[in-house]
A and B are shown apart, each in its own frame.
Chain A
């Protein structure tokens, strides 16, 4: 998948020419970037189709349908609220009413995990397709984004209900929250893109991701407030998800961003990382297809 495109004129048609060679496409970075842009643009219609397909397939064979999107944060919040009220666990005090805090944070965390798993699942499911038909692999990732945004939009209903129920004030900065959320999704996608091709070769990756994300959630201020000081506090602050998730939450509620410096740092890292991960994903795909193909 390292096409170089030039246009050849003839009397009737202009046929685009593609050349495949063994050479690494990184050796011509400008051409590579141009191809990436072109493929991204070309894959938008297909990505939309795939998004629609995945979402309709997901809900068509389900009785409860959309309720599944609401359940995990509610169950999680109920569990932790009960444990906290019974003082089984000590989670400190939060800036928002605790159930709302957990539910909102959990929704954000889940969105991050979905973004992380997205590329991995997309490649696994499309194994038969990508090993037979040459189409822009970007479409699969964009389609995952579509699914994630759709799921988040549904959960947004829950969040709006939550805000009304607890009569939480909303700051004008809430309009900026989607920006931070997208960065959160971008961070997840970046990691997912790096892992997805590897997972096609070694399935250990997907298993490892399940365990790691299960642990990671406790290193992220989801069920507790951002801790200050201590080894644990440092670990939580070094966790790149923390600034993105916390800032999204803060923008949507209090309007006061507690650690803008760290937020910007992680944001820039995320954007650069996403670009690099995208390049890696593109370069790795043909090699992966070569090894897994039926």
Chain B
């Protein structure tokens, strides 16, 4: 299981085949219990000191493999994304590559200077000036005074710190400190840059600048190893990827293919299995207006599973009322499971000037979507009914899981855009 994907955009002056990072059957074990872990630490040090064999290839009580038998290599100019859920072993692999911790089996060969982009502003001393901190930080990253002198102005310009460089770092805003830390790290010009989820630094403008800087470094032949949960980051920086799951390498190849596989696995592994329609049992504390069932349907009214991006769909919410209501509003929250806790959609009928008049009996509210704009993935739906201007909550149903699939590959799009293409030529008279 190796990634042999060669960079398509490699700078021509490099020897193309040179492998600069080679990971051979690397395993690493960890222990969850702190007490035992510390004890093992002391024992390992002791064994190591007398030059004995640590028997590092077998598990002791309470240990588990954080990485097991991982092999891959990366050539010069290539960039590699490490993809996997939390706890898959990405950070552990990073730390072994950077030489911070020793592998328990196997070997890692690294050619050239490795710099981590994981410790932004590590070692910043709050009461020292920005200037002093830049010198310290870059010295820790392995630069000589002369090299720092040469780059200093670039770093300050890049971080957009200006005159504040001569003020203590504790007077900086958190964004300023992070920018300065990032600027230091990307100006060390390593051969391999390890990037661990840190691109979310600063505002949009600064982030764009960071990406530009990374692209520049890539052009110069710097290789990246990137850990990211965001498919956009991984896809825009890396041409190949490896997929880790529970410490094992399960797939290597093209970033896009791996990303698709990862997202598909995420939705399959979801505890909540997607179902086309759910019926809600009667609750003990019955309100006068209850949600009885929820379903996702296609244009013809048949239950859809899964739904497809770009196709018409509607969410149907069946309710039962025991009283008269004059001003009921329905709100639909849709959240993508693999992303952070942000809602993808919050649709409130009252804001669309739709309040419903309800009479006792059963009825169905339908939210019609002529084009389902959601990108492929797994979503969780939350529905609630409110009445009156103060959002008196009548009933709420959470955790309806549904899946959206793609007709064609949509993995680089954040949403489905209804569209048509046309070529228009000036008409001849």
Question: Which of A1, A22, A45, A283 lies in contact with B100, CB distance below 8 A?
Answer: A1
Q: Who on chain A is nearest to B115 by CB?
A: A133
Question: Which of A60, A132, A287 lies in contact with B128, CB distance below 8 A?
Answer: A60
Question: Which of A8, A134, A197 lies in contact with B114, CB distance below 8 A?
Answer: A134
- CB-CB under 8 A from A273, the residues of chain B are none
Q: How far is the CB of B153 from chain A (nearest CB, A)?
A: 19
Q: Who on chain B is nearest to A128 by CB?
A: B122
Question: Which of A18, A202, A288 lies in contact with B110, CB distance below 8 A?
Answer: A18
Q: How far is the CA of A18 from the CA of B96 in the complex (A)?
A: 12
The reply to whether A287 and B111 form a contact with Cβ atoms under 8 Å apart is no
The reply to whether B42 and A286 form a contact with Cβ atoms under 8 Å apart is no
B49 at interface by CB-CB < 8 Å: yes
The reply to whether A22 and B102 form a contact with Cβ atoms under 8 Å apart is yes
The reply to whether B111 and A8 form a contact with Cβ atoms under 8 Å apart is yes
Q: Who on chain B is nearest to A131 by CB?
A: B100
- CB-CB under 8 A from B40, the residues of chain A are 291
Q: How far is the CA of A291 from the CA of B95 in the complex (A)?
A: 13
Q: Which of A46-54, A104-112, A177-185 contacts B (4 or more CB under 8 A)?
A: A46-54
Q: How far is the CA of A2 from the CA of B30 in the complex (A)?
A: 20
Interface size, chain B (Cβ < 8 Å): 57
Question: Which of A20, A56, A284 lies in contact with B103, CB distance below 8 A?
Answer: A20
- CB-CB under 8 A from A290, the residues of chain B are 30, 41, 101-102
The reply to whether B122 and A17 form a contact with Cβ atoms under 8 Å apart is no
Q: Who on chain A is nearest to B57 by CB?
A: A22
- CB-CB under 8 A from A287, the residues of chain B are 41, 44-45, 48, 101-102
Residue with the greatest number of chain B CB neighbours at <10 A, chosen from A3, A132, A197, A284: A132
Q: How far is the CA of A49 from the CA of B140 in the complex (A)?
A: 9
A268 at interface by CB-CB < 8 Å: no
The reply to whether A53 and B132 form a contact with Cβ atoms under 8 Å apart is yes
B260 at interface by CB-CB < 8 Å: no
- CB-CB under 8 A from B52, the residues of chain A are 24
A201 at interface by CB-CB < 8 Å: yes
Q: Who on chain A is nearest to B142 by CB?
A: A135
- CB-CB under 8 A from A13, the residues of chain B are 112
Q: How far is the CA of A11 from the CA of B16 in the complex (A)?
A: 11
The reply to whether A19 and B100 form a contact with Cβ atoms under 8 Å apart is no
The reply to whether B191 and A15 form a contact with Cβ atoms under 8 Å apart is yes
A208 at interface by CB-CB < 8 Å: no
The reply to whether B136 and A202 form a contact with Cβ atoms under 8 Å apart is no
The reply to whether A22 and B56 form a contact with Cβ atoms under 8 Å apart is yes
User: How big is the A interface, by class?
Assistant: 35 or more
- CB-CB under 8 A from B108, the residues of chain A are 19-21
The reply to whether B136 and A49 form a contact with Cβ atoms under 8 Å apart is yes
Q: How far is the CA of A15 from the CA of B296 in the complex (A)?
A: 58
Known contacts being A21-B107, A49-B136, A134-B100, is A26 close to B48, with CB within 8 Å?
A: yes
Q: Who on chain A is nearest to B144 by CB?
A: A45
Known contacts being A24-B48, A135-B140, is A286 close to B100, with CB within 8 Å?
A: yes
The reply to whether B102 and A201 form a contact with Cβ atoms under 8 Å apart is no
- CB-CB under 8 A from A19, the residues of chain B are 107-110
Residues 60-87 of chain A, each 1 if its beta carbon lies under 8 Å from chain B, else 0: 1100000000000000000000000000
Known contacts being A45-B139, A133-B140, A202-B38, is A21 close to B99, with CB within 8 Å?
A: no
A241-294 at interface with B (beta carbon < 8 Å): 280, 283-284, 286-291, 293
The reply to whether A1 and B111 form a contact with Cβ atoms under 8 Å apart is no
The reply to whether B136 and A289 form a contact with Cβ atoms under 8 Å apart is no
Q: Who on chain B is nearest to A52 by CB?
A: B132
Q: How far is the CB of A37 from chain B (nearest CB, A)?
A: 17
Q: How far is the CA of A291 from the CA of B100 in the complex (A)?
A: 11
The reply to whether B128 and A57 form a contact with Cβ atoms under 8 Å apart is yes
Q: How far is the CA of A1 from the CA of B96 in the complex (A)?
A: 9
A149 at interface by CB-CB < 8 Å: no
The reply to whether B100 and A16 form a contact with Cβ atoms under 8 Å apart is no
The reply to whether B105 and A22 form a contact with Cβ atoms under 8 Å apart is yes
The reply to whether A132 and B122 form a contact with Cβ atoms under 8 Å apart is yes
- CB-CB under 8 A from B98, the residues of chain A are 133-134
B20 at interface by CB-CB < 8 Å: yes
B48-77 at interface with A (beta carbon < 8 Å): 48-49, 51-52, 54, 56
Q: How far is the CB of A112 from chain B (nearest CB, A)?
A: 25
Q: How far is the CA of A49 from the CA of B141 in the complex (A)?
A: 12
- CB-CB under 8 A from B110, the residues of chain A are 17-20
B323 at interface by CB-CB < 8 Å: no
B332 at interface by CB-CB < 8 Å: no
The reply to whether A15 and B20 form a contact with Cβ atoms under 8 Å apart is yes
Q: Who on chain A is nearest to B30 by CB?
A: A290
Q: How far is the CB of B52 from chain A (nearest CB, A)?
A: 7
B333 at interface by CB-CB < 8 Å: no
Q: How far is the CA of A94 from the CA of B326 in the complex (A)?
A: 101
Q: Who on chain A is nearest to B11 by CB?
A: A12
Q: Who on chain A is nearest to B108 by CB?
A: A20
A225 at interface by CB-CB < 8 Å: no
Q: How far is the CB of B190 from chain A (nearest CB, A)?
A: 11
Q: How far is the CA of A126 from the CA of B51 in the complex (A)?
A: 28
Q: Who on chain A is nearest to B18 by CB?
A: A10
- CB-CB under 8 A from A174, the residues of chain B are none
Q: List 22 A-B contacts (CB under 8 A).
A: A3-B99, A10-B15, A11-B13, A11-B14, A12-B14, A16-B112, A20-B107, A22-B103, A24-B48, A24-B52, A45-B145, A49-B139, A56-B128, A57-B125, A128-B119, A131-B100, A133-B116, A133-B119, A198-B42, A286-B102, A291-B40, A293-B100
Apart from A20-B102, A26-B48, A133-B122, what are 20 other A-B pairs with CB-CB below 8 Å? A1-B100, A10-B15, A12-B15, A13-B112, A22-B102, A26-B51, A45-B144, A45-B145, A50-B139, A56-B128, A129-B122, A132-B119, A134-B100, A135-B142, A198-B42, A201-B38, A202-B42, A284-B49, A286-B100, A289-B95
Residues of A within 8 A of B (CB): 1-3, 8, 10-13, 15-22, 24, 26-27, 45-46, 49-50, 52-53, 56-57, 60-61, 126, 128-135, 197-198, 201-202, 280, 283-284, 286-291, 293
